[in-house]
Amino acid sequence: MSLNVKRSDTILIPDQTRVLLRPLSPGGPERVAAIVARIMALPENEVGRLLEQVCAEFSQRHQHIRDLFLDRFEHVSESLPDSAEVSLQRRLLIGSYFLAEYSLESAALFNPSIVPHPDQTALPAGALRFILSLRATGEGHISSITFRTGIIHANLRIEVFPATGFLTEPRQIPNPLYEKALFGRKLSELGLAGEFTRRLMHKLGVSFSLEDLRAALQAEQFIQPDGMSQIDQDASQGIWILARSNYEVQFQPDQPISERIIFPATPSQRNGIEDARFTRFLDGDGSHNYYATFTAYDGRLVVPELVETSDFLNFRFITLNGPAAVNKGMAMFPRKIDGRYAMLSRQDNENIFLMYSDNVHFWNECTLLLKPAFPWELVQIGNCGSPIETSAGWLVLSHGVGPMRQYSVGAFLLDRDDPSKVIGRLREPLLKPNRNEREGYVPNVVYTCGALVHNGELIMPYGLADHATGFATVPLDEVLAAME
């Protein structure tokens, strides 16, 4: 059966003018001190002239640029002698030397997921407001999460609102509280439940802050007169990394959503936050929350992590733990099934698995759900976002890799009450690269991280050759009827 897939004229391409101010670290402490010393040697009138020149050139590209200069100065001020007197304009100038513009999407803007916007007010009849998350890749192949908003109109016209000019990272919320029991369980999963950890946890309350943990770690260092053993040092570092990997950030309500950037912030994310799969999750009380699984990449290892938000202003980042929380491509179901969280995964790089858990933080077991079967997917398969609930069952978009590393989008159907039962599957791809979509950063790839159904139509944003983002629509009934 031939499917009536329609590609939209709406294409999002990378915009190299969207720049973010990031800390510049040109070397170790000695190099930083040398740079600061050279700036300190400048005459005061030269400092004023240089500062005016920098502000004139960059203040139209970044909001509150002087505040950013001062904040960066505080991070490098330890290189100054204690007796040094530094004027305000010299502090600002020093800060400017340790910042650099980063072009967020200079290489790519792709692998989107789409969810209904929390605000559906003041819309024409039959329209839906949405939030689109995208993977933005810039210099050094570092990926972050960026957002757009738009409207799916009643006639299925997809309107994506233009991104505004300024980019802003969120404010990290100080001293998030950690639950001792949950934190201890995570340490056990990581193999860090030794004597040092037991001693440390005994010092902490039922809940504790990052500063509480820092103080307890420092106390342990002072207690041991001969210094910490290598085993204890490794445990201390692992505990601190775990704490840093669970954190919250907050954007300001007056910041347009296209200006909100989630940039890598922890050691596990050092080289990128990749392929966020957002879903609008139905809680037991009837309210909705948003979860997204994503891949954190530190330059060597990939690990799945989770982010949670109710309003796209406050984001809570959570590590995923347990022997089944490995590899890429985890995607949550949008509600609990039989009282448990459910997730699709791909632990072995080529098959799709199903997982259940009583706790969204921990995933211990997985069962094989689907294997490659058709020529266009014989290299590997995986999910393309969270399952979509329909009257016929759970619709799951999948990706398959075939000859010449061509990525195509397929689909299969799971039983609504028992998702371990595959009740339908497309024999042919739903979407494969056409002649206009083959060229890009990675040729011959179409890929999505999440779609939705609106007014009986499947709305699929998708990445084009790992470079840009397009949209396609197809009647849901046609997709279901084509299932075998």
154 and 80 co-located in one domain? no
Q: What is the mean pLDDT of residues 105-127?
A: 97
> What tokens does 142 get?
């570092």
Domain boundary among 76, 103, 130: 103
> Which DSSP helix (H) or strand (E) runs through 414?
strand 407-414
Domain boundary among 48, 83, 103: 103
184 and 42 co-located in one domain? no
312 and 393 co-located in one domain? yes
Give the number of C-alpha atoms closer than 13 A to the C-alpha of residue 303, restricted to the C-beta side: 21
pLDDT the model gives residue 230 = 85
- Containing structural domain, residue 277: 6-14+104-171+247-481
> What tokens does 132 get?
């689109």
Instruction: Tell me the C-alpha distance between 412 and 311, whole Å.
Output: 31
* Residue of 148, 150, 149 lying closest to 14 (CA atoms): 148
Q: What is the mean pLDDT of residues 71-98?
A: 92
Q: 402 to each of 48, 424, 484, how far by Cα in Å?
A: 61, 21, 20
Q: Band the pLDDT of 288: cuts 50, 70, 90.
A: very high
Domain boundary among 103, 132, 149: 103
Instruction: Tell me the C-alpha distance between 355 and 341, whole Å.
Output: 8
Instruction: Tell me the C-alpha distance between 216 and 180, whole Å.
Output: 13
Question: In 10 A of CB 3, how many CB atoms?
Answer: 18
- The alpha carbon of residue 418 and the mean position of all alpha carbons in its chain are separated, in whole angstroms, by 29
261 and 159 co-located in one domain? yes
pLDDT exceeds cutoff 60 at 383: yes
Q: What is the mean pLDDT of residues 281-292?
A: 94
190 and 291 co-located in one domain? no
Handedness of CA 266, 269, 270, 276 (dihedral sign): negative
Residue 19 forms part of a structural domain:
no
Residue 215 forms part of a structural domain:
yes
pLDDT the model gives residue 190 = 81
427 and 296 co-located in one domain? yes
Q: Taking the CA atoms of the chain, what radius of gyration do you get in angstroms?
A: 25
Q: Band the pLDDT of 1: cuts 50, 70, 90.
A: low
Helix (H), strand (E) counts: the chain:
9, 28
Q: What is the mean pLDDT of residues 110-121?
A: 97
State the CATH number of the domain containing residue 389. 2.115.10.20
- With a CB cutoff of 8 Å and minimum separation 6, the contacts of 222 are none
Q: What is the mean pLDDT of residues 148-164?
A: 96
Question: In 10 A of CB 86, how many CB atoms?
Answer: 17
Q: Band the pLDDT of 159: cuts 50, 70, 90.
A: very high
pLDDT the model gives residue 224 = 60
pLDDT exceeds cutoff 90 at 117: yes
SS3 breakdown of the chain: % helix, strand, coil, rounded to 5? Answer: 25, 35, 40
pLDDT the model gives residue 66 = 96
Residue 417 forms part of a structural domain:
yes
Q: What is the pLDDT of residues 208-233, one digit of tens each?
A: 998 999 999 988 876 665 667 888 88
E strands in 346-441: 352-357, 367-370, 380-383, 388-390, 393-401, 407-414, 422-425
Q: 308 to each of 276, 292, 318, how far by Cα in Å?
A: 11, 7, 8
Instruction: Tell me the C-alpha distance between 333 and 343, whole Å.
Output: 6
48 and 111 co-located in one domain? no
User: Average per-residue pLDDT in the chain?
Assistant: 93
Residue 337 forms part of a structural domain:
yes
pLDDT exceeds cutoff 70 at 478: yes
pLDDT exceeds cutoff 80 at 175: no
* Residue of 357, 374, 391 lying closest to 189 (CA atoms): 357
235 and 90 co-located in one domain? no
Instruction: Tell me the C-alpha distance between 337 and 21, whole Å.
Output: 43
Cα-flanking dihedrals φ and ψ of residue 426, to 5°? -75, 130
Q: Band the pLDDT of 300: cuts 50, 70, 90.
A: confident
Residue 343 forms part of a structural domain:
yes
Q: What is the mean pLDDT of residues 119-132?
A: 97
Instruction: Tell me the C-alpha distance between 451 and 335, whole Å.
Output: 16
> What tokens does 443 get?
């040729």
Q: What is the mean pLDDT of residues 432-448?
A: 95
Handedness of CA 34, 40, 45, 48 (dihedral sign): positive
Residue 416's SS3 state is coil
Instruction: Tell me the C-alpha distance between 333 and 135, whole Å.
Output: 21
Instruction: Tell me the C-alpha distance between 135 and 144, whole Å.
Output: 6
Better pLDDT: 459 or 266: 459
Residue 1 forms part of a structural domain:
no
pLDDT exceeds cutoff 90 at 20: yes
pLDDT the model gives residue 226 = 60
253 and 240 co-located in one domain? no
E strands in 244-347: 247-250, 272-282, 288-297, 302-309, 314-319, 331-332, 341-345
85 and 133 co-located in one domain? no
Residue 129 forms part of a structural domain:
yes
Better pLDDT: 321 or 452: 452
Q: 97 to each of 66, 72, 82, 317, 425, how far by Cα in Å?
A: 13, 9, 21, 31, 57
> What tokens does 394 get?
């759970």
41 and 99 co-located in one domain? yes
Domain count, the chain: 3
pTM of the model: 0.92
Instruction: Tell me the C-alpha distance between 113 and 397, whole Å.
Output: 12
338 and 200 co-located in one domain? no
Q: Residue 86 in contact with residue 108, Cβ under 8 Å? A: no
Q: How far apart are the first and last CA of the chain?
A: 11
> What tokens does 422 get?
């595959």
Which amino acid appears at position 50 of this protein?
Answer: L
> What tokens does 289 get?
């929350």
Beta bridge partners of 178: 208
Please, where are the H alpha helices in 336-459? none
